[in-house]
Structure 1
Amino acid sequence: MTPGEGARDERRAVEKLQALVRIPTVSHRDASLVDTAAFDRLLAELERQFPLLHERLELTRIPTHALLFRWPGRSAERPVVLMAHLDVVPVEGTWQHPPFSGDVVDGSIWGRGTLDDKGCVAGICEAVETLLEDGFVPAQDVWLSFGCDEEVSGDAAPLAVEELVRRGVRPWFVLDEGGAVASEAFPGVAAPVGVVGVTEKGVTSLELRVEGRGGHASTPARMGPTARIARAITRIDRSPMPASTPEPTIELFRRLAPHAPLPLRALMANAGRLGPVLSRALVAAGPEPAAMTRTTFAVTTLSGSPALNVVAATAKAGVNIRIMVGDTVAGVLEHVRKVVADDEVHIDVVEQNEPSPISPRDEAFGLVETTIAELFPDAVPAPYVMMAATDSRFFTRICDRVYRFAPFRMTKAQRESIHSYDEHLGVEAFLDGVRWYRRLIERLPA
C-alpha cells in the first residue's frame, strides 16, 4: 500500500464515523419519544458504509433496531462477541461545535456518540470491513452485537442473549465498551492506563415518594411532602455505605505502583494488605476515586408542586444507585430504609441489577492485555471495576469472561464529556482503535 492509499483509507474510516454521528439516534425510556426514522437511517447508513460486512456476514435483526452479525471462522469452538451500541443520550449544555455535525476540528471528531458509543461501532465495523477486503478468515467465529437501547437499559441486549442461547452459542469472551486508554486517570501517575473492566457495578434506581393534603401556600403545614423528601435526601447523602477495596482495584493499584509518586508507591504496591488505608485515601481524593471504593447514591430527579403558590400533594425524588462489588440490592435497600427512617417516605424500586461477576484474568484477558500493550506501548494495562453500566452485563448469563474496553486514548476532559457536552474523539485515537480491533481479531487463537 502506498502512503497515498493509506491516507485515503484513513480518511474513509473517519468519514464513516462522521456519517454515523450525524444521525441523531437518541434513545428514551418512553418509546413514543424515540425517532425511529433516525434509527432506520442509521441502519441504512451502516449498510452503505460497510457493504462487505453486510454481504458476507450472517445478520439477525433484534427488535427494534439492534443487529447481531455472525462472521464464521475456521472454528466455532471458542466464539467471540464484540459489542457496541447505536443509541446516544440527549444533548445537553452548550457545545463548541454542533453535537450532531461530526465536524473534524483541531484533530478531533466532534459530536454526540463519538466516545459513547459510535466510535466503537465504527471501529469494529471498519476493522471487520478491511479484514474482509484482505480475504481474512478469523480463527474463531466472531459475533458483532450492536444494541439500540443501551442508554435506557432496554430489551435489545437481553434479546440478543436469548438469540445466542437459542443457537447454543456460549462465547469464549465478550468485549464491550467501558474502559479506555485513560490519561490523567490517577493523581501523580503520568502514564496512561489501559483499564479493562472485569466487572461492573450493579445499577438500581429508586423513587422516594411522599404524599400529603397539599393546599394553599399561604398556610403550609410543618413537614409537608417536599420537606420530608428533602430530609430523606439529606439523610441518604450524609450516610454513605462502607468503603471497600475489591480485588480488581487492588490489582489495578499494584500495577500502577511503579508509575506512582514515591510517597504513594508503598501504599499502592501493598494495596492488598493495606486495603482499608487505601479505601480511606480514595474516599478523600474526590468523587471519582471514591466511587471506586463503595456503592454510590445520586439524586437525579425531583418533582413537587406544579405551581409556586401551591403546596405539593406529592413530592418525589429519583435516586440512581451504583452497587459496589460485594454489596447487594437487598443490602442497599435495607441501608436506605434505615437511614431515611421515615415511614411516610415510600420507597419504590424502579429497576434493580446486582453487580456483575468478576471475570477471570486468564488467556482471554491476556489476549486483550497484550493487544493493548502492542498498540499502546506507553500504557499500563490493568483490570478495574467499571462504575457505569453496559449491555455486556446481560451477557454474563452465557459467558464467564466479559470485558469492557474501548480502545481509544481519552483525556480526563474527554471522559467528562460523556453524557455531557463537547464530546469528541481524536482522529488518530480513532484510527488507533480501528487498528486495535483489527489486531485483536487477527490474534484470536485457533
Structure 2
Amino acid sequence: MMESDERSRRALTYAEKLSRMIRVRTVQEPGNAQSFEDFHALLKELFPAVFAHCEIKVFGNDGGSLLFRWRAACAEGEGKPALLLMSHQDVVDAEGPWTHEPFGGEIAEGRVWGRGALDIKGNLLCILQAVEELIEAGFSPATDVYVASSDCEEIGGNDLVPDYLRAQQIDIDLLVDEGPCIIKGDDGVLAAQVAVAEKGQVIFKCSAFGPGGHAMSVKKNSPLVRLGAFMAEVDAADLFEGDARPDLFDKTGTTVAFTMAGASNVPNVVPREAWAICDVRLAPGRTVESAHHAMVEVGNRHDVEVTVSKSTPPSPVSDTSGLAYTQVTAAISSVYPDVRPRAVLLSGGTDTKHFTDVAQCCIRFTPMVFTPEQTATIHGIDENIDCAALPSGVDFFKTLIEHRSNR
C-alpha cells in the first residue's frame, strides 16, 4: 500500500472513531452523568489495549474524570520523572443553526463535524490512539506515562487528579495539555504555537450607586452616567502598560473587556445601582491585587465601587531552554519538518492551571493544523476538523513518547 493510501486509511479510521465520540453529548450539566458513563464505555470499546494495559482511576462524585497510568518497562523507569498528557471529555452545549447536527458526528467534505471536534475530543482521540498503537506494537515506555481526562474543564475543572498526584508524590517533568494549534501565518509559513504559560483571570463587578427615582426629577451624574464614564476611561486607558513579554509573541499583555451590564428595567426609572462585569486577563507578572488596585484608582474618580467576584492568577512560565520543552519541539519538527515552533502565551484557560505545582514544565499545545475559519468555530457554530489532520496528531504523541524513551 502506498504511503498516501495508508495515511488516507488512517485518517478515515480516526475520523470514524472521533465521529462516535462526538455523538455522546458530554455536556457537564445536572442530570447528565449517564452521558459520561456512556462515553467511558465507548472509550473502552475504541481503545481496548489502553484499558487492558493501563491502570485506571476514576475521580468525582459522578465518576467522570479519568487518570490512566501506563507503567514504565522496568521498575527503574518508574522512579524517573513521568510524562502527563491531558485532554478533557466535556464540551460546551451547541446552539444556533448548525449546517450539520452538532452531536451527529457527521463525516462530510473531508471533515468531522460536531461539538468537540476541535475542543477537544479530537485531541483526546489522538492521545489515546497513540498509546493504543504503541501498546499494540509491543512498545513499552522508559518512564511512566499518565493520561488525564477531566469531565468538567469547561466549567472550571477541579483539583481531584492533581491532589492525587501530589499525595502519591508523583514526579512529572512534562505535562502537555490542549492549547494553540499549528497555523499558517501571513507569510505562508506554518507555525506551531507552543503555549508555555496561560493568563490569569479576574472577574470584577463594577457598581455605581445613587438615590434613584423618577427620570423627570433625578439630577445629573446618576449611577448609570458615572458607570459609563468609568467604563469609557478603563477602555481607553492602558492600565497595564509594560505587562507584555517581549520573549513571547502576540497579545501578551493584560487585557480588559466589559462583558455584562445592568441597571433599571423600567424606561422612566433611574436605577439605584448600575453595574457592569469586567473580565481582565492577567499576563504573567501581574497579580490579582495589582489589577484590582489599578481598577479601583479609576473607580474612585467616578465614585464606582470595584470588587473581585472570582480570580485565577497567571500561571508560571515554563522554561523554553529546558529538556522538556526541547522534547516537545523535537516531536513537532519530526512530524512537521516544515513547521517552526514558537513559544506563546495562552489568553484562555485550561485544566493546566490546576497542575502547575505538580509538573515541572507545562505545555499547552494541540498538534494539528487548523484553519482560522475552523478555530473560529470553537464554542461556536459548525465546529469541525479535517480528517487529514488526525494522523499527524496521533504521530506527534507517539513520537513524543518514543523520543522520551530514547533520551
Q: If the length of structure 2 is used for normalisation, what is the TM-score?
A: 0.90
Match of 2:128 among 114, 125, 128: 125
Q: 1:52 Cα shift?
A: 2.0
Taking the aligned partners of 1:143 and 1:82, their CA distance within structure 2 comes to: 6
1:267 corresponds in structure 2 to none
The structure whose residues are more often helix, as a share, is 1
* Amino acid across the alignment from 2:53: R
Taking the aligned partners of 2:108 and 2:263, their CA distance within structure 1 comes to: 43
Structure 2 residue 316 is matched with structure 1 residue 318:
no
2:58 corresponds in structure 1 to 61
2:360 corresponds in structure 1 to 400
Report SS of the residue matched to 1:139.
coil
1:277 corresponds in structure 2 to none
* Amino acid across the alignment from 2:41: A
2:46 corresponds in structure 1 to 49
Report SS of the residue matched to 1:140.
coil
Q: Does the CA-based 8 Å contact 1:239-1:339 persist in structure 2?
A: no
Structure 2 residue 376 is matched with structure 1 residue 416:
yes
Report SS of the residue matched to 1:417.
coil
- Range 61-70 or range 201-210, more displaced: 201-210
Q: 1:71 Cα shift?
A: 0.7
Equivalences, count: 397
Structure 2 residue 147 is matched with structure 1 residue 149:
no
Distance 1:327 1:48, change over 3 A: same
Write out aligned runs for 1:66-145 (5 A): 66-74=65-73, 75-76=77-78, 77-145=80-148
Report SS of the residue matched to 1:174.
strand
Q: 1:160 Cα shift?
A: 0.8
Long gaps (5+) in structure 1: 253-288
Q: Does the CA-based 8 Å contact 2:91-2:119 persist in structure 1?
A: yes
Long gaps (5+) in structure 2: none
Q: 1:308 Cα shift?
A: 4.6
Taking the aligned partners of 1:144 and 1:137, their CA distance within structure 2 comes to: 15
Match of 2:195 among 183, 194, 197: 197
RMSD: 2.4
Distance 1:23 1:348, change over 3 A: farther
Taking the aligned partners of 2:269 and 2:97, their CA distance within structure 1 comes to: 33
Distance 1:424 1:219, change over 3 A: farther
Q: Does the CA-based 8 Å contact 2:12-2:387 persist in structure 1?
A: no
Match of 2:286 among 327, 332, 355: 327
Taking the aligned partners of 1:43 and 1:306, their CA distance within structure 2 comes to: 46
Q: If the length of structure 1 is used for normalisation, what is the TM-score?
A: 0.82
Q: 1:389 Cα shift?
A: 1.2
State the percentage of identical aligned residues: 30
Superimposed CA distance per residue, residues 340-377 of structure 1 (whole angstroms, 9 cap, x where no aligned partner): 33575332312222211111122111111011111111
- Range 47-56 or range 193-202, more displaced: 47-56
Write out aligned runs for 1:11-410 (5 A): 11-27=12-28, 32=30, 35-63=32-60, 64=62, 65-74=64-73, 75-76=77-78, 77-155=80-158, 158-184=159-185, 188-215=186-213, 222-240=220-238, 241-249=240-248, 289=250, 291-292=251-252, 294-308=253-267, 310-342=269-301, 344-361=303-320, 362-410=322-370
Q: 1:318 Cα shift?
A: 1.8
Q: 1:305 Cα shift?
A: 3.4
